[in-house]
Amino acid sequence: NAGVTQTPKFRVLKTGQSMTLLCAQDMNHEYMYWYRQDPGMGLRLIHYSVGEGTTAKGEVPDGYNVSRLKKQNFLLGLESAAPSQTSVYFCASSLGTQTTQYFGPGTRLLVL
């Protein structure tokens, strides 16, 4: 049981480049989330999904897109990376509302 896994672990992008972060969970959870973590800002929700085929905006969605084509996967896309998107990105999943969110190990992204 791997829990929540994230790919890649680290990535360097140039401004304007695009990339996709992959999150996978093997706990059959309905809910999945993408957060970004910045120093002094805590964790901020980017987008989330309450089930396969659904997505919704969180607190800081601008510049990001997501897709949940399969229940176990949640993809986060950056169409045109900006230095302000330099951050550590965490994916999480949960069984339902107000239940434990299980976090992945994070993806460190540097945009130059």
Partner 1 sequence: QQQVKQSPQSLIVQKGGIPIINCAYENTAFDYFPWYQQFPGKGPALLIAIRPDVSEKKEGRFTISFNKSAKQFSLHIMDSQPGDSATYFCAASTGGGNKLTFGTGTQLKVEL
Q: Which residues in this chain contact partner 1 in the complex, by CB under 8 A? A: 4, 31, 40-45, 48, 50, 56, 58-59, 90, 92, 97-98, 100-106
Least Å distance between CB 100 and partner 1? 5
Least Å distance between CB 19 and partner 1? 20
* Residue 44 vs 67, nearer CB to partner 1: 44
Least Å distance between CB 111 and partner 1? 20
| Rg, C-alpha atoms of the chain | 13
Question: What is the DSSP track for 40-100?
Answer: TTEEEEEEEESSTT--EE-SS-TT-EEE-SSTTEEEEEESS--GGG-EEEEEEEESSTTSP
What pairs with residue 2 in β-bridges? none
* Residue 41 vs 82, nearer CB to partner 1: 41
* Residue 73 vs 103, nearer CB to partner 1: 103
Least Å distance between CB 4 and partner 1? 7
Closest CA to 44 of 3, 13, 83, 85: 85
